[in-house]
Structure 1
Amino acid sequence: MKKKHYIMIATSVLMMLLMGTVYSYSVFRVHIETLFDVGTLQSGLPYMTSLAFYALGVMVTGRLMKPSRLRGFVVIGTILIALGWFISGIAPSLGVLIFSYGVLIGSGVGIVYGIPIYIAQKQFPEKSGLITGIILLGFGMSPLITAPLVKVLIDLLTIQPAFIVFGAIFLVIQLPISFIYDTSIDEEVATSKVEIKHYGIKPFKSIYILFVIASTIGLMMIGLSYQIGVVYYEFNVLEVTASLSFFAIMNGIARPIFGRLMDKKGFVFSVRLSLMLIGIASVIGILNQGNSLILFIMSFSLFWFNLGAWLAIVPAAVKSFYGMKLYSRVYGVMFTGYGVGAIIGTVVSGMIMDLLRWTTNLYMLVLVLIGISFVIASLIHRQVRISQMYIAKQTQGMVEEV
């Protein structure tokens, strides 16, 4: 790997680290409820909108992706993010916050997010899963730094000035990076070693449903982590805030781990492992019910871990089933599943918590969704095995003819 590649990966991780502040929303959420006098469902709307437009931004960028446009996308996306933070800092109502935090920041993050992943898939065809996971490590581990920073800024300045500080951070750090970011791609490398691993199998709908379910579960639990720990389970605020940093580590390290698993073990193995871990997290949650901080940390760290896992699984799966020629378009549409999951997770979890006021129902819902996911994963596995048997027979026939 050349020196410029290491620099590209490092700057990508830094940008992801900044943009991953969206995962610290659970710290903002309690203060937003107080500021605008709203409940759990309403306070989740800026978060839900942000994730929905984040997914929409990835889709639009994917359809327009060309090497000559990459830097422009990074600059435009960064400006939208900074503007969204500044407007959030003066928002007079929840509706304005939904527009600024949701539409502007979400769109900006979505526009920038797909660029490093696209470059990684093209530039490192043999280790694309691992490199993508390393880059996404920054996004997942962002709350390790940003969650404590959010709390300190809110304690010192209150919530809206804290928003303005984040806007300034993007102008001072990410905007200059946008102008020097290396968007070059060695086309000879990008096209010489690319292969479609599963010929004839294009299970877009099945993968999309799995991604929606995984996103629904992960984003639902991430968005409620602080609130469940502090408000419902009544754990110490500092302990829960510290836990968010550990959750962020788990979310981050899942990405290179599952990126590597996708490179070595493939889609079905990785999916089944992730689903099993999510099921374990739900069972722990049902048994715990807020009696133990350690069990709370264990269950929610697994929820965060597996959302990170799916954000590494999906781009590698798209490349595996569709190849690089269709990658940017297919991945862009596939990523809308993340936005759909954000909407479903926010609305459903908000209704459950506002009406039923306890967490058991959330965990039971997750177990039902995991059961459905295992069935879908088994169907994909069957398709892959049939395809592999067919290819093996064709290859054997060709050998016998020779």
Structure 2
Amino acid sequence: MNLGIKNLDKRRWIVLIAGCFINLCLGSIYVWSVFSAGMADYFTNTLGKTVTSADLAIVYTIANSVGPITMISGGWFNDKFGPRKVILIGGIMWGLGMFLSGFATNVNGLILTYGLIGGLGLGMAYGSTISTCVKFFPDKRGLVGGITTAVYGLSSVILPPIVTVIVAKTNATTAFKIVGIVFMVLIAVSVIFLEKCPDDYTPAGFTPKKTAAVKQNMNWKEMLKTPTFYVMLLLLTCGAFTGMMITSQASSVAQHMVGLSAVAASLAVSVLALFNALGRIVAGFVSDKIGRINTLFLACILAVIGLLCLYFSGMGTVTLFYIGLSIVGISYGAFMGVYPGFTADQFGPKNNSVNYGIMFIGFAIAGYFGPQIMGQTFAKTGAYQNAFIYAIVFSVVGILFTFIYRLVAKKNK
């Protein structure tokens, strides 16, 4: 539909709201721990197959790992033809994967349904949703990138209690089926309100910076030829490393390092998730004011401060632990919230779905090595302190990359 600028200025807010509803559904991947415990109990006590939650961790790992594949491929279709069909297909795959998981009778069944079908659908819909919303807000890219990614993260706070109740009143298999159907319906309805942003769209009263015109609308091949891309990719890896490392084992850290009970440790997970979401919105807003790279520089500084608080935490130092956890959450959220807009600023909005999908590989790298280093460190030493030192090194390297980015950007300019 060809809409006038004034109408588009209003419609873009509807697109943003619809995108947030979709991301809330997609963020349910963070509810895996609830499903995992329930399915382990189902396999063991109902089917007579001894399976633990640890045995099911591979399902969650695969679901996260395959996402970048469809973020890139689905992003290409999104940039060319618009978001409706791409996000609808991705959303249905995510909901269908969950629904079919309710019929799984072994770990391999969950790998196929939740890990592959669901994970591939999640990547396709998530990348396209964020990119679509960011394209409509060239005047607020940081803020909108922060909001859309924050809603995705808030699923880890909002949805677990709801799914827990469903599992308690029925069982994990029924919960999978119910949640899968609900999500397919919600996403299908939400995509009706999405539309393709015109390539030349500029909101009323907004004048793009003249210096940005040189960088507009590179395709992925052109992007990969620039040194800026590799600096940004490595910066994202360093920035996301701390968050991915601690998020993977926040409950265990709270119990073994500070001495919190399992119930109290679950609060630590929620606190980290809340400050993660807060960091995405605040950093996105701030980056619109002071610049993306300045915001990411501050995020790296915060990560070092938060990690030092965690390093010096010990049994009974609950306050210091929560301060460190909160600061780390804000820092991690800053990178997740700023990077969609940062990528569009640097390489143009037209092909941002594909470009951001490729840039997201930096996040995937951090998502693999962060938890691995955290787990191996604890296995070898029985403590987490050394892992925090490794993360501090990554954050310091991230600070260096912010300066390298400035040098490269200045040279290109």
| Aligned partner of residue 105 in structure 2, secondary structure | coil
Q: 1:212 aligns with which of 221, 224, 237?
A: 237
Structure 2, unaligned runs of 5 or more: 1-7, 45-49, 216-225
Please give the per-residue CA displacement for 1:119-177, whole angstroms capped at 9, x wherever unaligned. 23322212222122222221121112113334444444454444333223313422332
CA distance in 1, matches of 2:321, 2:113: 32
Q: Which moved more, 1:203-212 or 1:52-61?
A: 52-61
**Residue in 2 that maps onto 1:236:** 261
AA aligned opposite 1:321: Q
Does residue 1:378 correspond to 2:403, yes or no?
yes
Contact 1:88 1:97 in 2 (8 A): yes
When normalised by structure 1's length, the TM-score is: 0.84
CA distance in 1, matches of 2:318, 2:174: 32
Query: Could you tell me how far 1:21 is from its partner in structure 2?
Result: 1.9
Contact 1:222 1:303 in 2 (8 A): no
**Residue in 2 that maps onto 1:267:** 292
Q: How does 1:80-91 map to 2 (within 5 A)?
A: 80-91=93-104
Contact 1:198 1:321 in 2 (8 A): no
Contact 1:255 1:311 in 2 (8 A): yes
CA distance in 1, matches of 2:337, 2:305: 20
AA aligned opposite 1:61: G
Query: Could you tell me how far 1:240 is from its partner in structure 2?
Result: 3.1
* Structure 1 residues 349 and 86, CA gap change in structure 2 (3 angstroms): farther
| Aligned partner of residue 112 in structure 1, secondary structure | helix
Q: 1:344 aligns with which of 358, 369, 388?
A: 369
Q: Percent identity?
A: 22
CA distance in 1, matches of 2:391, 2:123: 26
Q: 2:195 aligns with which of 178, 183, 207?
A: 183
Does residue 1:137 correspond to 2:140, yes or no?
no
**Residue in 2 that maps onto 1:124:** 137
Q: 1:64 aligns with which of 77, 97, 114?
A: 77
**Residue in 1 that maps onto 2:30:** 23
* Structure 1 residues 322 and 55, CA gap change in structure 2 (3 angstroms): same
AA aligned opposite 1:197: A
**Residue in 1 that maps onto 2:340:** 315
* Structure 1 residues 96 and 346, CA gap change in structure 2 (3 angstroms): farther
CA distance in 2, matches of 1:142, 1:156: 21
Contact 1:56 1:336 in 2 (8 A): no
Please give the per-residue CA displacement for 1:204-224, whole angstroms capped at 9, x wherever unaligned. 111111212333322222221
Contact 1:247 1:300 in 2 (8 A): yes
Contact 1:23 1:222 in 2 (8 A): no
Contact 2:246 2:371 in 1 (8 A): no
Q: 2:113 aligns with which of 100, 103, 111?
A: 100
Q: 1:367 aligns with which of 392, 398, 402?
A: 392
Q: 1:291 aligns with which of 311, 316, 329?
A: 316
Contact 2:283 2:338 in 1 (8 A): yes
* Structure 1 residues 293 and 108, CA gap change in structure 2 (3 angstroms): farther
CA distance in 2, matches of 1:194, 1:384: 18
Contact 1:67 1:183 in 2 (8 A): no
AA aligned opposite 1:211: L
**Residue in 2 that maps onto 1:397:** none
**Residue in 1 that maps onto 2:162:** 149
Query: Could you tell me how far 1:228 is from its partner in structure 2?
Result: 3.0
Query: Could you tell me how far 1:379 is from its partner in structure 2?
Result: 1.4
Contact 1:21 1:146 in 2 (8 A): yes
CA distance in 2, matches of 1:364, 1:223: 17
CA distance in 2, matches of 1:283, 1:158: 42
Query: Could you tell me how far 1:16 is from its partner in structure 2?
Result: 1.1
Query: Could you tell me how far 1:77 is from its partner in structure 2?
Result: 0.8
Contact 2:271 2:326 in 1 (8 A): yes
Does residue 1:280 correspond to 2:336, yes or no?
no
* Structure 1 residues 156 and 361, CA gap change in structure 2 (3 angstroms): farther
**Residue in 1 that maps onto 2:218:** none
* Structure 1 residues 239 and 302, CA gap change in structure 2 (3 angstroms): same
Contact 2:276 2:330 in 1 (8 A): yes
Q: Which moved more, 1:139-148 or 1:98-107?
A: 98-107
**Residue in 2 that maps onto 1:197:** 212
Please give the per-residue CA displacement for 1:75-97, whole angstroms capped at 9, x wherever unaligned. 11111111221233343333333
Does residue 1:51 correspond to 2:64, yes or no?
yes
AA aligned opposite 1:95: N
**Residue in 1 that maps onto 2:219:** none
Q: What value does the CA root-mean-square deviation take over the aligned residues?
A: 3.0
**Residue in 2 that maps onto 1:324:** 349
* Structure 1 residues 6 and 359, CA gap change in structure 2 (3 angstroms): same
Contact 2:24 2:151 in 1 (8 A): yes
Query: Could you tell me how far 1:2 is from its partner in structure 2?
Result: 4.1
Q: Which moved more, 1:91-100 or 1:263-272?
A: 91-100
**Residue in 2 that maps onto 1:400:** none
Please give the per-residue CA displacement for 1:358-401, whole angstroms capped at 9, x wherever unaligned. 221321221121122222222112233455xxx6xxxxxxxxxx
Contact 2:257 2:313 in 1 (8 A): no
CA distance in 2, matches of 1:233, 1:362: 15
CA distance in 1, matches of 2:385, 2:197: 49
* Structure 1 residues 82 and 110, CA gap change in structure 2 (3 angstroms): same
Does residue 1:305 correspond to 2:330, yes or no?
yes
